[in-house]
């Protein structure tokens, strides 16, 4: 779909400015220059092999006494060094996020510089964790100062400029017109990038099941795969993925849902509870098979990763079972860009400080198409569920503040323990467009019956926060397909578990391996990501012990 990217650092002359600014550091193309000199790390032309000890602790409880036994499990991690040619196929490519992502990649690729009312602006990847943040890798022995490098330099990763762009949309607008409709980017950038956007192929026809998204989206639905046969739709989408891969000679495609929020699907025994039942339900065109689930199944059967950037329950049990069976990667749910990201930090701060949040009330309004779709009750409910669980693990970690749940009697459902009141409101206000306004109130109990209230007002360009997260999720997903592990008696290396929980840092409602705990704490999610990437080159996790500064 996209014109092929230049090999490196290409620029486009711009007569409106006297000189072209240098490429922004977050957008610069850098070689992977990290080399670890250790008996635990081996470099070959094909692989980076690292030995890593996963340290933890096993805890047993008896009569209120805790017995802790340290554990140490050795692993070998192997990362393929070659970064394959990667495509990104977005469902909803013509929406706010999809059109913004395509336009900003093209602006970075061609170094388009534009004027704003405050001056000259150059393209960059600010907001991307992988492109615009760093990781600490050690200490300089001479200066005694910590050394930080870009996260993207720890392991070989896809550069955003190299992604081959494509996808589906229920709206048939050309990509330049879709960008104009979104009203996200500055006019001067739109004007300059429009010719490149016009060269992109129009979105592929998508599937439209009116029961799953708001009725107010019907006017956009003019680019549809015909018929109501869900099996035929599945085969059509699979063919689209195969054709895109062949046309652009791709090694990997990441299929990404950035379309409208759907209502939740009902989980029905015999319909979507197992892989076989789900495939049979698709064949029977069952009403509870959603568009996003159908796209996920198509990607899984084609052996390509699927990431869900919206809050609905795309990953019904049958999808997870199918991903396990096919050893195909999935991840999500819902982009964590602003209000919820802040909540996952502030709630943890309060609880860790021994302060007890009694209520958390969140309100926001926005005027883009996402807000319009969420104005429908069933679609809002999906978003409410996604946002509401973000403080659960912080509360569960501190039962000094919150009463623990009572043990359920046999046959009874386990009740939740004490929990803050958590209210979420979203309103559609067309006038503000993509500029979202969010207000949060944290009402807490403090020392000896006192009270504390923290109010936060946040205004942001919604799509300009979300777009870098799509890039991070895509790039990280591609990397994880190149990492294998071996442990214990394993003779052969194996791929990672299909549910990519390492994507949690960018997701509101992280998808994790069934039966394991969900971590919403932003600090813990970030530490897990950093620690894993460093483990792949044989480095230990970050430590803030700084023992050398505490002793003579």
Please check whether the domain covering 86-335+465-535 is classified as CATH 3.40.50.2300.
no
Cα→Cα distances 288→7, 116, 209, 291, Å: 46, 47, 10, 10
User: Which residue among 336, 387, 508, 534 is the active-site one?
Assistant: 508
Residue 372: per-residue pLDDT: 67
The residue annotated as part of the active site, out of 245, 343, 383, 534, is: 383
CA distance 536 to 484: 10
Q: What is residue 480's predicted lDDT score, i.e. its pLDDT?
A: 97
Residue 90, classed as helix, strand or coil, is strand
At 6 the pLDDT is 41
Residue 304, pLDDT > 90, answer yes
How far apart, in whole angstroms, are the C-alpha atoms of residue 88 and residue 214?
26
Structure tokens at 52: 């890593």
pLDDT in tens, 100-140: 999 999 999 999 999 999 999 999 999 999 999 999 998 88
Catalytic residue selected from 169, 436, 462, 534: 436
Residues with Cβ within 8 Å of 276's Cβ and at least 6 positions away in sequence, in order, are 318
The pTM of this model reads 0.90
d(CA 380, CA 487) in angstroms, rounded, equals 44
Q: pLDDT, tens digit, for every residue of 447-476?
A: 999 999 999 998 888 889 999 999 999 999
Q: Which range in 58-62, 139-143, 214-218 is most confidently predicted, on average pLDDT?
A: 58-62
Positive or negative: CA dihedral 114, 116, 118, 121? negative
Q: What is the band of 15 on the pLDDT scale with cuts at 50, 70, 90?
A: very low
pLDDT digits (tens, 9 = 90+) for 415-452: 677 888 888 888 888 888 878 888 999 999 999 999 99
Query: Quick one: pLDDT at residue 13?
Result: 44
Sign, CA torsion 302/303/308/313: positive
Q: Are strands 252-257 and 306-308 parallel, antiparallel or unpaired?
A: parallel
* Domain spanning 339-403+413-461, CATH class: alpha beta
Q: Is 305 within 8 Å of 481 (Cβ atoms)?
A: yes
Write the burial class of residue 527 (CB in 10 Å: 0-12 exposed, 13-18 middle, 19+ buried).
Answer: middle
381 is catalytic: no
The verdict on whether 276 is a catalytic residue reads no
Does 544 participate in catalysis according to the annotation? Answer: no
What residue spans define the domains of the chain?
A: 86-335+465-535, 339-403+413-461
Euclidean distance between CA atoms 408 and 437, whole angstroms: 42
Q: Clarify whether 436 is annotated catalytic.
A: yes
Residues 495-546 have pLDDT tens digits of 999 999 999 999 988 999 998 888 888 889 999 999 999 999 999 887 777 7
pLDDT at 9: 40
Quote the pLDDT of residue 393.
Answer: 80
* Per-residue model confidence (pLDDT) at position 411: 65
Mean of pLDDT values over 30-58 = 92
Is the pLDDT at 67 greater than 80? The verdict is: yes
Which of 240, 333, 334, 472 is catalytic? The answer is 334
Mean pLDDT of the chain: 89
């Amino acid at each position: 779909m996209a014109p092929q990217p230049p090999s490196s650092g290409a620029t486009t002359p711009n007569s409106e400015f006297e000189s072209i600014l240098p490429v922004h550091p977050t957008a610069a193309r850098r070689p992977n220059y990290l080399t670890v000199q250790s008996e635990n790390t081996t470099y070959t032309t094909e692989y980076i092999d690292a030995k890593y000890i996963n340290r933890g602790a096993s805890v047993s409880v008896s009569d209120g006494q805790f017995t802790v036994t340290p554990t140490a499990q050795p692993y070998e991690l192997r990362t393929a060094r070659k970064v394959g040619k990667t495509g990104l196929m977005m469902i909803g490519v013509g929406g706010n996020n999809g059109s913004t992502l395509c336009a900003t990649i093209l602006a970075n690729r061609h170094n388009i510089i534009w004027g704003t009312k405050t001056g000259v602006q150059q393209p960059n990847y600010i907001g991307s964790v992988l492109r615009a943040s760093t990781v600490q890798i050690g200490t300089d022995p001479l200066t005694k100062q910590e050394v930080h490098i870009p996260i993207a330099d720890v392991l070989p990763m896809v550069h955003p400029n190299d992604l081959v762009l494509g996808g589906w949309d229920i709206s048939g607008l050309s990509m330049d017109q879709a960008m104009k409709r979104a009203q996200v980017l500055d006019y001067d950038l739109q004007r300059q990038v429009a010719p490149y956007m016009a060269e992109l192929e129009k979105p592929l026809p998508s599937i439209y099941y009116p029961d799953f998204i708001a009725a107010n989206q019907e006017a956009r639905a003019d680019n549809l795969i015909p018929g109501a046969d869900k099996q035929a739709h599945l085969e059509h989408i699979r063919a689209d993925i195969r054709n895109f891969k062949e046309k652009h000679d791709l090694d990997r495609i990441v299929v990404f849902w950035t379309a409208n929020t759907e209502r939740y699907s009902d989980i029905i025994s015999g319909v979507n509870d197992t892989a076989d039942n789900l495939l049979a339900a698709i064949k029977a065109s069952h009403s509870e098979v959603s568009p996003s689930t159908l796209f996920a199944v198509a990607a899984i059967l084609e052996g390509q990763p699927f990431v869900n950037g919206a809050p609905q329950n795309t990953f019904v049990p049958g999808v997870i079972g199918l991903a396990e069976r096919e050893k195909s990667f999935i991840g999500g749910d819902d982009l964590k860009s602003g209000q919820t990201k802040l909540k996952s930090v502030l709630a943890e701060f309060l609880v860790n400080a021994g302060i007890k949040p009694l209520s958390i009330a969140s309100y926001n309004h926005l005027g883009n198409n996402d807000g319009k779709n969420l104005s429908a009750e069933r679609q809002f409910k999906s978003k409410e569920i996604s946002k509401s669980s973000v403080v659960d693990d912080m509360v569960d970690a501190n039962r000094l503040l919150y009463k623990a749940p009572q043990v359920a009697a046999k046959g009874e459902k386990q009740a939740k323990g004490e929990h803050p009141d958590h209210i979420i409101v979203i309103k559609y206000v067309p006038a503000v467009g993509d500029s979202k306004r969010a207000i949060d109130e944290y009402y807490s109990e403090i020392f000896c019956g006192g009270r504390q209230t923290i109010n936060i007002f946040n205004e942001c360009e919604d799509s300009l926060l979300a777009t870098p997260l799509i890039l991070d999720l895509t790039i990280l997903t591609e990397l994880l397909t190149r990492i294998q592990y071996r442990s214990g008696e394993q003779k052969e290396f194996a791929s990672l578990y299909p549910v990519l929980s390492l994507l949690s840092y960018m997701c509101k409602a992280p998808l994790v391996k069934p039966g394991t705990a969900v971590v919403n704490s932003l600090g813990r999610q970030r530490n897990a990501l950093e620690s894993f990437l460093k483990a792949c080159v044989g480095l230990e996790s970050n430590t803030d012990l700084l023992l050398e500064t505490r002793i003579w």
